Chains A and B, each alone.
Chain A
Amino acid sequence: MNATVAMACSRVRVEEKLLLDAYARRGVEVRRVDPRALSLPLGGTHTDPTGTDPTPALQGVTVLHDRGISYGVSCHLLEALAARGIACVNTPDVVRTCGDKVLASLRLDEAGVPQPETRLAFSSEEALRLLDEELGYPAVLKPAVGSWGRLVARLNDRHAAEAVLEDREVLGSWPHRSLYLQALVAKPGRDLRVFVIDGEPVAAIWRHSDHWVTNTARGGSVSACAVEAELGELAVAAAAAVGGGILAVDLVEHPDRGLLVLEVNHGGEFRNSIEPTGVDLPGLMVDHVLAVAARTSAVLAGAATECA
């Protein structure tokens, strides 16, 4: 049984073009699925009595490579597709965990992966108490859901904290009622990203910036980093903690505690990491998806044989 691979994405970034090209170089025709053009039955039968899928875009799809840019859309799309028996890379659980910093911190902590001192509060009053009595200043307030360093606020002192928290309370939507607070790590003008694919740390980069936010989306520059033992092991442990797959693990060097995991990205951007590392990241990602596709096809073929 041949697998039909689909890639879910709406906005096509450089990364998605590189992935499409990697599929093409392997002679794999990947079907693009734009969630904006999709509707899905929830409940009832997924196929009519003739075996026709009521969602033509998904006809015959056995594996979906998620490259959606919207966390909310990806969460629901992948849940709905997994319920139809479509293998998703990454899985719905992994995406839901990675896209929510609260869930990710819990999973990392359960696995014993070191991370910055982190607290969760649900009111400005309690957040201020935590900052005054436990975390100290400077600290960082991050939206539980969000990316690219957006709305990440450095709280240098109580006055800054009061101002930012009031802004979130008055102007923020309901996700901003969960206040994810971290002690600021005095990093040496850089942090790290390790790409982990199917449990293997395949490449790592330093992200440099004079600004305390080092995201490349915010202008940070990139250089290659050797994936040495401790770094690789920690990144692999972090990836495993959230469920594994194709992941980008962000880490920071703490002056006393050593390497800490900041977050794990389920849809990591990699356009700036290929040239400095010399690693064919899109090729490795596509190879992993195709390996999942082969395994899925083998399982489906086995099931079909048993039913025959």
Chain B
Amino acid sequence: MPSCTECSAPLSPPTDAVEGEIVPCPECGTELEIVGLDPVALALAPEVEEDWGE
């Protein structure tokens, strides 16, 4: 099972997870980005930048 890169808590990504999706750590709240699916790999999600939006 993948774990949080910050606090090592175990995570269960959604079954329909896709690369680039953000999942919050249930323990510490850190936002993690799914960077691989087979096996699931997580990385600290990038911080929101000033030009981000809709």
* Chain A residues at the B interface, C-beta cutoff of 8 Å: 9-13, 16-17, 20, 32, 34, 69-72, 99, 143, 145-148, 150-151, 173, 175, 217, 248, 265-269
B18: which of A17, A72, A143 is its contact (CB, 8 Å)?
A: A17
Whether A17 lies near B52 (C-beta < 8 A) is: no
Whether B51 lies near A70 (C-beta < 8 A) is: yes
Report the separation of the CA atoms of residues A266 and B51 in the bound assembly, to the nearest whole angstrom: 13
Report the separation of the CA atoms of residues A146 and B51 in the bound assembly, to the nearest whole angstrom: 5
User: A265 and B54 in contact (CB under 8 A), knowing A11-B33, A70-B49?
Assistant: yes
B20-54 near A? 1/0 per residue, CB < 8 Å: 11100000000001000000000001100111111
Whether A71 lies near B20 (C-beta < 8 A) is: no
Report the separation of the CA atoms of residues A69 and B53 in the bound assembly, to the nearest whole angstrom: 6
Which A residues are CB-close (under 8 A) to B51? 70-72, 99, 145-146
Whether B33 lies near A147 (C-beta < 8 A) is: no
**CB-CB nearest in chain A for B20:** A12
User: Chain A CB within 10 Å — which of B18, B22, B54 has the most?
Assistant: B54
A267: which of B45, B46, B54 is its contact (CB, 8 Å)?
A: B54
Whether A12 lies near B49 (C-beta < 8 A) is: no
Pull 20 A–B residue pairs with CB atoms less than 8 Å apart, ordered by A.
A11-B20, A11-B45, A11-B46, A12-B19, A12-B22, A17-B16, A17-B21, A20-B18, A32-B19, A34-B20, A69-B52, A69-B53, A72-B51, A99-B51, A145-B50, A146-B53, A148-B53, A217-B54, A248-B54, A267-B53
Query: In whole Å, how far is A95's beta carbon from the nearest beta carbon of chain B?
Result: 11
Number of interface residues of B (CB under 8 A): 15
Which B residues are CB-close (under 8 A) to A175? 50
Closest 6 CB pairs of A and B: A147-B53, A12-B20, A71-B51, A12-B21, A72-B51, A269-B54
Whether A12 lies near B18 (C-beta < 8 A) is: yes
B22: which of A11, A146, A147, A148 is its contact (CB, 8 Å)?
A: A11
**CB-CB nearest in chain A for B21:** A12
Report the separation of the CA atoms of residues A188 and B19 in the bound assembly, to the nearest whole angstrom: 41
Whether B54 lies near A146 (C-beta < 8 A) is: no
Which B residues are CB-close (under 8 A) to A146? 50-51, 53
Which B residues are CB-close (under 8 A) to A217? 54
**CB-CB nearest in chain A for B52:** A69
Query: In whole Å, how far is B17's beta carbon from the nearest beta carbon of chain A?
Result: 9
5 other contacts beyond A11-B46, A17-B21, A148-B53, with CB at 8 A cut-off? A11-B20, A11-B33, A17-B18, A150-B50, A173-B50
**CB-CB nearest in chain A for B34:** A12
Query: In whole Å, how far is A300's beta carbon from the nearest beta carbon of chain B?
Result: 29
Report the separation of the CA atoms of residues A269 and B52 in the bound assembly, to the nearest whole angstrom: 12
Report the separation of the CA atoms of residues A151 and B53 in the bound assembly, to the nearest whole angstrom: 12
Whether B54 lies near A147 (C-beta < 8 A) is: yes
